[in-house]
Amino acid sequence: LKMNSSLVGNQSGRPFCLLAISYLETINFCLLEVVIIVFLMVLIISGNIIVIFVFHCAPLLNHHTTSYFIQTMAYADLLVGVSCLVPSLSLLHYPIVLSESLVCQIFGYVVSVLKSVSMASLACISIDRYIAITKPLTYNTLVTPWRLRICILVIWLYSCLVFLPSFHWGKPGYHGDVFQWCANSWNTDPYFTLFIVVMLYAPAAFIVCFTYFNIFRICQQHTKEINERRVRFSSQDGEAGEAQPCPDKRYAMVLFRITSVFYILWLPYIIYFLLESSNVYSNRVASFLTTWLAISNSFCNCVIYSLSNSV
């Protein structure tokens, strides 16, 4: 019924809007969608430009190997913000040279690839910290700048390839549903959804859970051993020893917060994607809100960086 009413409304000259409350008789575009997308676009672009600028101007931030992956995520998030210009112009009825179906497919593919780059980068960050804590003596020989660059290149190539079948197989997500063709004619395929889950979502989530669980377990064990030795030596000297937190754990906590916020914001989107693909639940408002909640993570990363690092 909602789909039919939207089509009828569009035929009567009204704009195609996913949020019913966004249409006003006095204007001929989707007000609420435009406000949300433009607001997020400005925050994402400005925030990530600042992050990239600070990384290039503050050499202290490049001491950690994870800075390679964080900068990769910042560039990917910046491109997400730039790509948001496409649906905002479409909602404002700005004339586009290419057909709506092609624009919607390209936009959905690009945002999906950038999402995959962020997800894979977070998994690589967790692996990097796991190696640093489990093999501290050989870490510098195992993790070199050259290998990190190769890893980043593989992340981008893999992300481009894993979503490439979407042009013929089915919708990779709901990033393009602000376009009428995407919402009405480009359907999700349960087999393609399973393919993405197996090739991207599940491995990335498993790696993150496995590595951080072991990181915190090892750090807790190290902290306990260090404090026991400190208490033993201080008792011999007659001084009270204070418990000292593990520095690796403190740094891992910062990265864990970034990863946690990412999955918290993307979880509603992933759940809705699975429900809609399996024909269990479908709702255009839920599609729009979960999609742009997930995309807002591209700005949240900037906030976490600034709150977690005094530089």
Q: Please tell me the distance from the alpha carbon of residue 99 to that of residue 131, in angstroms, as a whole number.
A: 48
DSSP structure class, residue 23: -
Collapsing DSSP to helix, strand or coil, 237 comes out as helix
Tens digit of each residue's pLDDT (9 = 90 or more) over 173-209 = 777 677 777 777 777 888 888 898 899 888 998 998 8
Collapsing DSSP to helix, strand or coil, 53 comes out as helix
We report the CATH number of the domain holding residue 269 as: 1.20.1070.10
pLDDT for res 69: 87
Q: Is residue 165 part of a domain?
A: yes
Tens digit of each residue's pLDDT (9 = 90 or more) over 146-161 = 999 999 999 999 999 9
Tens digit of each residue's pLDDT (9 = 90 or more) over 300-311 = 878 877 776 666
Q: Is residue 11 part of a domain?
A: no
Residue 75 has pLDDT above 50, yes or no: yes
pLDDT for res 103: 83
pLDDT for res 9: 40
Q: Is residue 135 part of a domain?
A: yes
Phi-psi region of 285 (alpha: psi -120 to 50; beta: other; left: phi over 0): alpha
Instruction: Provide, rounded to the nearest whole percent, the portion of the chain with pLDDT above 70.
Output: 79
Q: Is residue 142 part of a domain?
A: yes
Q: How many domains does the chain have?
A: 1
Tens digit of each residue's pLDDT (9 = 90 or more) over 236-270 = 655 555 555 566 666 677 777 878 888 888 889 88
Q: Please tell me the distance from the alpha carbon of residue 158 to that of residue 83, in angstroms, as a whole number.
A: 20
Q: Is residue 39 part of a domain?
A: yes
pLDDT for res 6: 38
The sign of the dihedral angle between the CA atoms of 290, 295, 296, 297 is positive
Tokens, residue 37:
């997308």
Alpha helices in the chain (DSSP H): 2-11, 31-57, 66-83, 85-91, 100-134, 139-142, 145-162, 166-169, 180-185, 190-196, 202-237, 247-277, 284-295, 297-308
CA 171 to chain centroid: 18
Q: Is residue 1 part of a domain?
A: no
Q: Is residue 5 part of a domain?
A: no
Q: Is residue 291 part of a domain?
A: yes
Look up the domain containing 58 and give its range: 31-229+246-309
